Amino acid sequence: MLPPSDIPTVRLLPKAEARAIRHGFPWVYSNELVLDRRTKALEPGTLALLEDAERRPMGIVGFNPASKIAARMLETNLELPIDAAWFEAKFARALAHRSLLYPDPFYRLVHAESDGLPGVVIDRFGDIAVIQPNAAWSERLLEPMVEALVRVTGVTTVIKNASGRSRALEGLDDVTQVLRGEMPAAPVPVPMNGATYLADVGGGQKTGLFYDQRPNHAFAATLAKGARVLDVFSHVGGFSLAALAAGAESAVAVDGSTPALELARGGAEATGVSDRLTLRSGDAFDQLAALQGEGAQFEVVVCDPPAFAPNRQSLEAGLRAYERIARLAAPLVAPDGYLVLCSCSHAADLSRFRAASARGIGKGGRRGQLIHTGFAGPDHPQLPQLAESGYLKALFFRL
């Protein structure tokens, strides 16, 4: 990297909140910057020196004139170049934390802004790392980043996952590819909470597995000993496999994705619990209604849907969807059983999600105690200045 005096400069408008950025907020929106002909001509992913309105340097940012988030803060120490050594330091710090938490190398290694790498997500599956470079600057510096990742962690395979709306918003491609090593020929077995999950690291949703729910899987499993469990939006069997491994009597996994349910079946076989798992493929709302029509009852019911409110524009519709899920699920819970409702929508904050869930439970003819609120695991740290990093909520009700 060139010294800061020789790299392009981008400057805040006088109205921009420089104090928030100096205190750790990592994003600068396009309407907070001077976007003249010179800055608009910069290529997406260019490293630039950010200055406040008085031309005082604030740090090195990854700049993208085509994105609503035009600048992402990378480094406030202007003496540190953004090079291989910089990446190695970031990865070493992230790895030290995860190594304390988990005895086996299966976890989220890098959680974007919270680990100092804005827009970058890396999940580790033993000797395999799946990286999502969701910001233009990280795509531009992908090669030195991958080299540093291999050196620090010792992984032998690195897969770039290019799915998801974040890359589209940055003007990036959607081509998934192997950057190091070879694509595994079969799903990767992942030990977690006493069960074995199967992760499709090349063609599954996101990176192939959702590590963020690990502590919520574990808490639900403590409630499920000897219980009948319903796991709606189960993906590869997240809650149901953990519950069965903990001694649940039976589990029904519901998902709209047949490939995901096949992975759940494979995980159940690997865990030795396949005789107690039933799979139901189809729309979750339809399946909930059908189960109610069948008179089904479960001691533990879990609903872990995709983000119904991925942004502010979809918030009200998303809250109605969360309310509807709770209304349909509540009648399926046996007396004194448990209902677990999850949201991964950062736009729906905890209080509004909790209120929508409570309304749905009431409309479903039930009353409940809120016994526990869960969040993402500690390998998904939150950045206090960035509400979006605290996206996951799990509400545990006793009805």
Residues with catalytic annotation? Answer: 344
State the Rg of the chain over Cα.
22
Counting Cα atoms < 13 Å in the Cβ hemisphere of 73 gives 25
The Cα–Cα gap between 378 and 380 comes to 5
Rounded to an integer, what distance in angstroms lies between the CA atom of residue 304 and that of residue 58?
A: 40
d(CA 63, CA 171): 13
Which tokens sit at 334? 């046996």
C-beta separation of 236 from 265 below 8 A: no
- Give 33's DSSP letter: B
Cα distance from N-terminal residue to C-terminal residue, the chain = 59
Q: Which tokens go with 41?
A: 């001509």
CB count within 10 Å of CB 166 equals 17
| Residue positions counted in the chain | 399
Find out whether 366 and 333 touch, Cβ atoms under 8 Å.
Answer: yes
**CA distances, 212 to each of 108, 127, 249, 295, 303 (Å):** 8, 20, 25, 33, 15
Answer yes or no: are the C-beta atoms of 294 and 230 closer than 8 Å: no
